Every structure is written in C-alpha cells, then in structure tokens.
Amino acid sequence: MQNTRNVTDSIVWVGANDRRIALFENLFPVEKGVSYNSYLILDEKTAVMDTADSAVTLQFLENVKGALNGRELDYIVVNHMEPDHCANIETLMNLYPSSKVVGNGKTFKFIEQFYDMNLEGRKIEVKEGDVLDLGRHKLQFVFAPMVHWPEVMMAYEQTEKILFSADAFGSFGAVDALFNDEQKDAFADLGEMRRYFSNIVGKYGPQVQGVLKKAAGLEITQICPLHGQIWRKDLDQVLAVHDKWSRYEAEEKAVAIFYGSMYGDTAEAAEMLAGMLAEAGVKNTVVYDVSSTHVSYLISEIFRCSHIVLAAPTYNNGLYPAMLNLLEDMKALNLQNRNISIIENGSWAPQAGKIMREKLEGLKGMEILGQTVTIKSALKADTVEALREMSREIAESLKG
Ligand code: FEO
C-alpha cells in the first residue's frame, strides 16, 4: 500500500523506513533503524530524486507508482550513487521505459562499476550549476564532492526553494515524524544526527564547509536529506551545528572519559577521576568502557566534548586493542582540536601512554594536558593524588 507524505502540493516523499536493520553499512548499530528518503516532483515533467535501499524496494515502488497515479516517470535524478540510495534505478528504468537517468560524469562511472545497465539514449549528464526544467519546478545542481562520495551532488529546487541535500544534514534513525516541526523537540535526537555526521561524513569537514558556503548563497525553505527528518523549521540551528562539527569545534565544554580495562583497575581510575571532576565543579562528565561501547558512539562524543581522557592498559607490549581501535578511528575521521589527558596502566613495562601520545601527535590541534598518570597494576595513594591533580588541570582548562 502506498505510504507517502506531501512535502508540498507537488513534491511527495516516497521513501521508507527500515526498522529491521541492525547495522548500517554492516558496521554501525542503528537501534532505531534508518530511513531511506526519496522524493518525487510532479510537474509538466515528473522526476524522482534518488531511489532507496533494496531492503525497502517493495514499499518504495508502491510509493512511486501511487504518487505518479498513472503518469509516466520522466527523470530519475541520482544525487548519490551509494547502494542504499541507488538499488532501484534499473527497476524504475524498466517500469518506466521513457525515463532518463540524470547524473554527473562520476555518477555514470559508478553506475557502470556497480551495475550492467543499458543507458543508451537514457542518460542526461549534468554539470555544476546546470538546471533541469520540469515546468514550474527547476532543479539546479550543486555539486558536493566527498559529502560523502565523490559523485555527490545536491539539487536545489528554485521555485519552492527546497534543498535536496543528499547525505548532508541526515541522521540515523527511522523517522517517526517525517518533518521536524512534527516533533515537540526537533533536536531530541541530536545524538543520532551527530553520530551519523561524525562517522559518515566527519572525515570530510572541509568539504562540508564548502557545501555550507554554497547553501549560504541560497534561500532555503526546506532541507530534504536522504536519511532522517525533513527540516522545515530551525534551519539556522541545523546549519549551525553542522558548521561547528565540520570545523571540528566541540559542541560544548564537557569531559568524556574513555577507558579500557582488563581486570577493573584502569576502570577504577576512570570512575575515580569522574568523581573528582564532579567535586571540582565539572558538570555532566560521561564515562565509557571502550570494550563494551561501539566506537561510533565514542566518536560522536568526541565531536561533542572539548575535553577527552584516554585511560588504557599496556597489552602485548603495545596498547590495549579496543583503545587502539578508537585512536585509529579518530585519525581516520580527521578528529582535531581537543584537550586530551592520558592515564596508562602497566605491570612491568608500561607502554600505553607513550603509544597514545604518539598516535595523538598525528592528529591536528590535539593539546595534551599535563603529565601522563601511570598506574602500576592498581591504584595506590600516589596515583590517586596524581588523578586529583589531573582533575584540577582539566577543571582549570575548562574555564579557559
Ligand atoms: Fe546513505 Fe552515503 O549514503
């Protein structure tokens, strides 16, 4: 059965939710599922913008067919060629034999790589700034390379002033209310939006900055991303958080403590430091076990917090693997500009602190506060005092 929503009188959301998916990209836990958004414009010509993942093909096709209401489909616009959005291009081409596929040079290269479609006579290649005339609606293409793949482009509908933003401004989570003004608090799921941003496009901050500059030159009434809710109020706030994240600027002055611990001794140090920070007047410190928390949540917290504490034991004369994984991910995602404190543990040859410092030196703008606190197996009076000193340093730095 068709299950669509009207974005405007002549633009229809024809996407679908997937609440069965466990791991997005077979990598990121999505407890609340994910939405695959697709949009159909009904004008003198009809155009669908991106398709959907194969998991929701049936619902997507029913939506397109229902919204077309017997009309032909003229254009299949491919803003992003990642399979979660392009799995149904060929099916649409077969169902609507006069339709043409609209993309850029890189889009068509990826189509050839992923699929064996016959695009002869069915291809329209566009360049930055080109306009696809549908009648009253006119789609202007705004290229957004590496947000999140190189072929990505956005489409700005000039008449109703709607930005179809591809992966930009998206979120994890199926949509309960499609439009952000249908929720009491449109930012209630900011954590999932941040986790999506930081892990999916976090690496490409400068490219996101480029998109924000282009967006600043457009009058926008609604932002329609490929995942998550449609933004039709508080657009300034949405743009502002993305500006902050893509500049690698912390969302707030706050502390996140990440620990790895085999037998509980390093964990005890992390918990004790959290208490000392609270006693020093620091509010809302959060503590995570890196072994039991998916790294995507940790990355999201690093995007949020100005101050990070890394606490880990030495392992095989190296660094505890779960902490190593976090540091590798921080590098892969281009994380920058945080204040870091380090706690290491080692029973006979502590190495963890040295390795964490070396890894952090490879990242831009990471300031290491004070001395590494070294625990020899378990906390003793001198290490407790060193933790107290660390809490003072962090509290002082937070005031700066
Ligand atoms: Fe949801 Fe980069 O695709």
Q: Residue 272 domain-assigned?
A: yes
CA distance linking residue 79 with residue 19, whole number of Å: 24
14 pLDDT band, cuts 50/70/90, is very high
Say which CATH number the domain at 272 has. Answer: 3.40.50.360
Q: Indicate the residue among 246, 280, 310 that finishes a domain.
A: 246
Using an 8 Å Cβ cutoff, are 111 and 17 in contact? no
CA nearest neighbour of 47 among 86, 104, 102: 102
- Domain boundaries, position 299: 252-399
- Please state whether 88 falls in left (phi above 0), alpha (psi between -120 and 50) or beta: alpha
Distance (angstroms) between ligand 1 centre and the Cα of 55 equals 14
pLDDT digit string (tens) for 191-243? 999 999 999 999 999 999 999 999 999 999 999 999 999 999 999 999 999 99
Distance (angstroms) between ligand 1 centre and the Cα of 313 equals 36
Percent of residues, the chain, with pLDDT higher than 90: 98
Number of domains into which the chain is organized:
2
Indicate whether residue 232 lines ligand 1 (CB < 6 A).
Answer: no
CA distance linking residue 235 with residue 243, whole number of Å: 12
Regarding whether 18 and 75 lie in a shared domain, the answer is yes
Regarding whether 277 and 184 lie in a shared domain, the answer is no
Helix, strand, coil % over all residues of the chain, rounded to 5: 35, 25, 40
Regarding whether 120 and 11 lie in a shared domain, the answer is yes
Distance (angstroms) between ligand 1 centre and the Cα of 84 equals 6
Average pLDDT in the 137-144 region?
97
Q: Residue 193 domain-assigned?
A: yes
Q: Residue 1 domain-assigned?
A: no
105 pLDDT band, cuts 50/70/90, is very high
Regarding whether 286 and 381 lie in a shared domain, the answer is yes
Regarding whether 266 and 198 lie in a shared domain, the answer is no
Say which CATH number the domain at 156 has. Answer: 3.60.15.10
Please give the structure tokens belonging to residue 188: 């209630």
Using an 8 Å Cβ cutoff, are 319 and 356 in contact? yes
CA nearest neighbour of 328 among 314, 310, 346, 341: 310
Q: Residue 2 domain-assigned?
A: no
Which atom of ligand 1 lies closest to the CA of 200?
Answer: 2
Indicate whether residue 84 lines ligand 1 (CB < 6 A).
Answer: yes
Distance (angstroms) between ligand 1 centre and the Cα of 167 equals 6
Indicate whether residue 151 lines ligand 1 (CB < 6 A).
Answer: no
Indicate whether residue 18 lines ligand 1 (CB < 6 A).
Answer: no
Which residues, in sequence order, are bridge partners of residue 139? 132, 157
Regarding whether 156 and 35 lie in a shared domain, the answer is yes
Q: Indicate the residue among 196, 211, 246 that finishes a domain.
A: 246
184 pLDDT band, cuts 50/70/90, is confident
Report the sign of the C-alpha dihedral through residues 183, 186, 192, 196, in that order.
positive
Q: Residue 388 domain-assigned?
A: yes
Residues contacting residue 7 through CB under 8 Å, at least 6 positions apart: 13, 39, 162, 222, 224, 230
Residue 396 DSSP code: H
Indicate whether residue 307 lines ligand 1 (CB < 6 A).
Answer: no
Distance (angstroms) between ligand 1 centre and the Cα of 398 equals 36
Which atom of ligand 1 lies closest to the CA of 36?
Answer: 1
Which residues, in sequence order, are bridge partners of residue 12? 6, 40
Regarding whether 300 and 211 lie in a shared domain, the answer is no
pLDDT at 381 over 90: yes
CA distance linking residue 215 with residue 375, whole number of Å: 50
Q: What φ, ψ does residue 230 adopt, rounded to 5°?
A: -90, 135
CA nearest neighbour of 288 among 278, 298, 296, 280: 298
The length of the chain is 400
Indicate whether residue 102 lines ligand 1 (CB < 6 A).
Answer: no
pLDDT at 400 over 90: no
CA distance linking residue 365 with residue 369, whole number of Å: 12
Which residues, in sequence order, are bridge partners of residue 141? 155
Regarding whether 230 and 302 lie in a shared domain, the answer is no
